[in-house]
Structures are given as C-alpha cells and as structure tokens.
Structure 1
Amino acid sequence: MSRFFRAPTCLPVLLCVAAALAGCSHHDDNTYQGYIEGEFVYLGSSQSGKLAQLPVARGQTVEAGAPVFALESVDEAAALQQAQQQLAVARAQLADIQTGKRPPEVNVIKAQLAQALANARKAALQLTRDEAQFRVGGIAKAQLDDSQANADATAAQVRELTHQVDVARLPGRSQQIGAQSAQIEAAQAAVAQAQWKLDQTRVSAPARGLVYDTLYRVGEWVQAGNPVVQLLPPQNVKVRFFVPETIVGALAPGRALAIHCDGCAADVPAKITYIANKAEYTPPVIYSNENRAKLVFMVEAHPSAADAARLHPGQPVAVTLQ
C-alpha cells in the first residue's frame, strides 16, 4: 500500500527548511542549526488477517500496555482449542497406562480365578480318590492318568489367572510411559504455539507514546509483518545537528545543550547522546557559504521525556552548546 511510504515524503521539505536555516547566521559561536527527528516504532503482527479493531487514532497518546489493534482470530482460536483437546487426550492416555486395568476388568479375572480354584480343588480330591482305588485294583491305570492330568491342568489354570490378576494391577511398561510422556510434551508445545499465534493477533503499545499515524482501516487485510500503527515514544525524540571538526574534539556524550524552537515558550534542555566517529562533507541540509566544503560531524542529543512533547519531527531548531 502506498501509504506505508507516507513518513519519508516529508524529507524533501525537511531538507529545504534546514537548508534555508543553515544560510542564516548563528546566534553565537556555540549555536548551530538542526532539526528534530523521531525514531518511530512500527507496530505490526506476525500473523496475517483482517483488521478487526483499531481503538487508537492519529494524534492520540497511549499508555504502555494499552491495546492498539486486533486482527480477526477465528482460525487461531480454533487451532488453540484443538491443541488443548489433543493435550487432554494425551494426558488421559498416560493416566490409563499408569493405573493398569480398570477395577471391573480386574474383578472379572478374579471371578475366573475363583472358578479355577474350585475346579482345582475338585480335581485334587478326585485324584486322591482314584489313587486309593488304583492301589486296591478298583480302577484302571488309564483312569488314574486322566485324573492326574485334570488335576495338573486345573492347577496350571489357577497359576495363570493368579498372574493375570497381578498383571492387571500393574501400570504400563516404562517404555510405554516414556513414549506417552513425550506425546504430552509435544502436545504442550503445540498448545504454546497456538496460544502465541492467538496472542499475536492482539497488539499492545510497548511503551507510552504518541500515535503518529495509523496505516490501515478496520476491515482491511493486513499482511504478516506489515505495520498498522506508527508510534513515537517521547524518549525516541531527538535533535540532530552538525558541528565543524574544529570543535568536535571538545564534545562528549552527556554534555548539556539548549534547543530553541520558534513558538516555544522556553528553550528545551537536552544532552548529547551520540557523536559520529566519521567526518563528512557539509551535507545539503546545512549548506551555506560560510561552511561549504568544511568537514562536519553529526551530533545527536535527546531531551527528557517530559520535554519531548514540545518538539515535533521535522521541526527546524537552533542548538546552543552549554
């Protein structure tokens, strides 16, 4: 959209104004012409979507944490709900593995064991009687063998069902529990990712500042990464001016200066925060017959946040070193 380039279009006007000011004489030897610049914060979302809410307006001052805009989030909300349900399923499966079989299932095996115990006692009694009969010649050897086999089979069935009861009470194997725990961790990561995407559809002001411009209207489609609101925190307002190389060695960060602007009731105090470490030829913004072809250094200074509201990006000013 063409309006994303709205801010840079003021640069030619700034150059003309600053050039005109540079042609004027200094107030004194420590006064230099400059201009106010703003380091804007462009607020956008990592997600694409239709702009649903824009509660701020151009020229409004918002506090840190105040909602700035919101995109439609139906898809993100549904994805979060799906991830949460998948996490619940994974947790339930782990609980099932850890607790073994359900009590009714264990009771069925116990009933089968009780029946097997009864059959084993009956078979043991029958074997005892047949052994006594065989000793006196009352039954054949084949009938005794059948009784012995039946007693052995019922005893084995008792041992089998006893082990089944023990196994039913055991939790799942450690490998199964470990695998299911990994599934839960994966589901938790999916929930966190879905929650993050949903949070990205609602953007708040990272700091107190002036809403310098709004770049979309409600109902328009916003591509991921495109700024919706242009914010100017007061601490991001600075003055930029150029000094000749003959005095730059006397300057240091922290040095005080005064900013004079037309219409200001009083000068605005500021402190130097940056001095360019590379010289340049006189740029067009301060071009004049006095300093043409001289080497200059760019200097930046920041006023206090309270005083920054009195200054506006692009505003020509005079800077007096103190």
Structure 2
Amino acid sequence: MSRLSIYGPLVAAVLAASACSRHEAPVWQGYVEGEYVYLSSSQSGTLTQLDVRRGQNIAASAPVFALEAVDETAALDEARHQLAAAQAQLADLQTGKRPPEVRVTQAQLAQAIANARKAALQLTRDEAQFRAGGIARAQLDDSRADAASTAAQVRELENQVTVANLPGRTAQLAAQAAQVQAAQAALAQAQWKLDQKRVSAPQAGLVYDTLYRAGEWVQAGSPVVQMLPPQNVKVRFFVPETVVGSLAPGRRVSLHCDGCAADIPATITWVSNAAEYTPPVIYSDENRQKLVFMIEAHASPEDAVKLHPGQPVEVRLP
C-alpha cells in the first residue's frame, strides 16, 4: 500500500493548494502531533497515591504518583543497620584493644618490673654472700633463676602492651573495609528501589491522561501517567516537490488554526528525504506535481500549549 492511501486527504489538499497558489502566497495543510512521555516505575506495587489529574499542567519535579513501599522501606532500614555494624567492626580493628584492657596489661607490667627489681637486688646480695662463703651454691642458683624469670616476664608484658595498642592486621583491615563497601552498595541499592516507588515529572508539561486509579496493582514498567511536554508538540505538513528544495531546518513558518487568536510562529526542524508518493516508471512533469514531502516544525514551548494533537493547521511562510 502506498503512503498516498495514508495521507490521501492531506496530499490532495497540498496539490490543490499548489495548483491555485502560483500567484498567491503558498498555503500548506498539516496537523498537530504530540510525542508523549509515559511515566512508569521500575518496581511493581499497589498504586497508593495519584497526585495529578488529566488535563493538569504540572511543573518539573512535581510528584506524580507513588506505589506502596513497605518491603522497600524495611530493606532500607536493614541495609542501614548492616552498614553501621560493618563500620563499627572496622573501627574496632583500627583502634586495637579498649583503653581499660590496655590499662590492665600496663598494671601487670608495673608489678612485673617491681618483682624484677627485687629479684635483681636479691641476686646481688646472694652473689656477695656466696663469695664470702655465707650461702650455698644452690641458693645462688635459685636467685639467678628468679631474676631471669622476672626479667622475662617484664619483656613479655611490655610486648603485650605494644600489641594492645596496635590496630588489626593488614589483611583483616582490608577484608573488613571490603565488607563496609559491600554494605554501602547494598544501602544504595535499597535506597534506589525505594526511590523508584515515587515518580516525579521529569519536565514540565500537560498530564494528557492517567492510566491507573489508586488501589490498582501496577506491574513494573507499566505507564501510569501519559504526559505531553510543550516541546514535544510538533506540526507535520506536506509540500510539493517544487517547493521542498527551498525549505530547510531553521526556516521560519507561520501556523494558522481555527479558533487561534493569532497565527503562531514556528521553526522547521525536519525535512523528509523521501517523497510520500512515488509515481511509477518516470518523473514526468505531470507526475512530479504529485510528489509531496513531509516536513516537521516546532513552535516555542510558550506557543506550543495553544496547539492540540490532531488539530488541523495551515502553514504559510511569514
């Protein structure tokens, strides 16, 4: 089926206007079309709140609708607690033992130092007594063993105090830091899923239609609201082959519609590269007059609100 059967009335009007406009300003027939934006959520749920109504003009970022989010809210709370636990464990590894635990070891070290000093003094006295023949060698050996034992205990506790002040081992710290990062990612994912339950307008525009009512179940990805931003309103019109070469994107045109208080300025944004009707065999002078090309034009967002999809318009050069 040729495109002429689709655009038959408009093509006929274009050809008629072309035939009678050789001595007048050309007038081309067209219509208004809208490129709609369908707002949906990536998550499923019951529609609990519909903040807009059909025919309402809303601003960018205005709330549009919300789905129930009991599970998502609970998942977000769980992710927050898991992150707090992971961060606390990492902080514990980074700081070593608690100060009271360190102080207990320090007190044991002080006691060991005192015992070591006492044993060293006793060893000194016993060595003098042994040289004078006042004590037996066995007693001197006991004093030497006691001094060595207390000195070793001091070194042990000194090392324990040093270790108590050290953070966890490098591998432990790296593993726990990875746990913190995983918890942060889980929290971000839970927050994103919760945010998906509330949808706002990506840009200002007209609420063309609402497709669900509060209380209905909405599948993930199903449009709930159909919007028409003013910049998505365009005019399509058709010009004959003899004219298309003089029209290019950026060219200014004037739109006339029934009921409009004044003509609306617009700018050509697209010119078709293919004819809407291609005659068979050859391009004779007669057949070339049947060639028409589709052109699209956009009005400014302020003027676009005056146009309505499906509305017929006349397009002229200013």
The alignment partner of 1:254 has SS state of: coil
Alignment of 1:154-173 (within 5 A): 154-173=150-169
Inter-partner Cα distance in structure 2 for 1:282 and 1:196: 52
Alignment of 1:1-322 (within 5 A): 19-20=8-9, 22-24=11-13, 25-26=16-17, 28=21, 30-281=26-277, 294-322=290-318
TM-score (norm 2): 0.86
Deviates more, 1:78-87 or 1:170-179: 170-179
Structure 2 segments unaligned to the other structure (5+ residues): 280-285
How far did 1:189 drift?
Answer: 2.1
2:105–2:160 CA contact under 8 A, matched in 1? yes
Please list the CA deviations of residues 157-216 of structure 1 after superposition, one character each: whole Å capped at 9, or x if unmatched.
011101211221222334433333333222222222222221111111111111001111
- Between the two proteins, the alignment pairs up a number of residues equal to 301
Inter-partner Cα distance in structure 2 for 1:228 and 1:28: 47
Inter-partner Cα distance in structure 2 for 1:28 and 1:83: 71
Please list the CA deviations of residues 80-107 of structure 1 after superposition, one character each: whole Å capped at 9, or x if unmatched.
2222222222222222222221111011
TM-score (norm 1): 0.85
The alignment partner of 1:276 has SS state of: strand
1:34–1:242 CA contact under 8 A, matched in 2? yes
Please list the CA deviations of residues 232-267 of structure 1 after superposition, one character each: whole Å capped at 9, or x if unmatched.
011110001122222211111121222222222322
Inter-partner Cα distance in structure 1 for 2:175 and 2:252: 65
The alignment partner of 1:277 has SS state of: strand
1:281–1:293 CA contact under 8 A, matched in 2? no
The alignment partner of 1:149 has SS state of: helix
C-alpha RMSD of the superposition: 2.4
2:240–2:289 CA contact under 8 A, matched in 1? no
1:270–1:304 CA contact under 8 A, matched in 2? yes
Instruction: Give the direction of change, closer, same or farther, for the CA distance of 1:292–1:67 in structure 2 (3 Å limit).
Output: farther
The alignment partner of 1:311 has SS state of: coil
The alignment partner of 1:239 has SS state of: strand
2:241–2:289 CA contact under 8 A, matched in 1? no
1:133–1:139 CA contact under 8 A, matched in 2? yes
How far did 1:282 drift?
Answer: 6.6
User: What residue number does 1:7 align with?
Assistant: none
Structure 1 segments unaligned to the other structure (5+ residues): 1-14, 284-289
Inter-partner Cα distance in structure 2 for 1:162 and 1:262: 97
Inter-partner Cα distance in structure 2 for 1:146 and 1:291: 127
User: What residue number does 1:10 align with?
Assistant: none
The alignment partner of 2:103 has SS state of: helix
Inter-partner Cα distance in structure 1 for 2:189 and 2:161: 43
How far did 1:21 drift?
Answer: 5.3
Equivalent AA in structure 1 for residue 227 of structure 2:
L
Inter-partner Cα distance in structure 2 for 1:112 and 1:317: 97
1:282–1:293 CA contact under 8 A, matched in 2? no
Inter-partner Cα distance in structure 2 for 1:295 and 1:21: 12
Inter-partner Cα distance in structure 1 for 2:21 and 2:68: 58
Please list the CA deviations of residues 281-305 of structure 1 after superposition, one character each: whole Å capped at 9, or x if unmatched.
279xxxxxx9899333210001111
How far did 1:77 drift?
Answer: 1.5
Inter-partner Cα distance in structure 1 for 2:10 and 2:313: 9
The alignment partner of 2:109 has SS state of: helix
Equivalent AA in structure 2 for residue 257 of structure 1:
V
Q: Percent identity?
A: 71
Inter-partner Cα distance in structure 2 for 1:292 and 1:238: 27
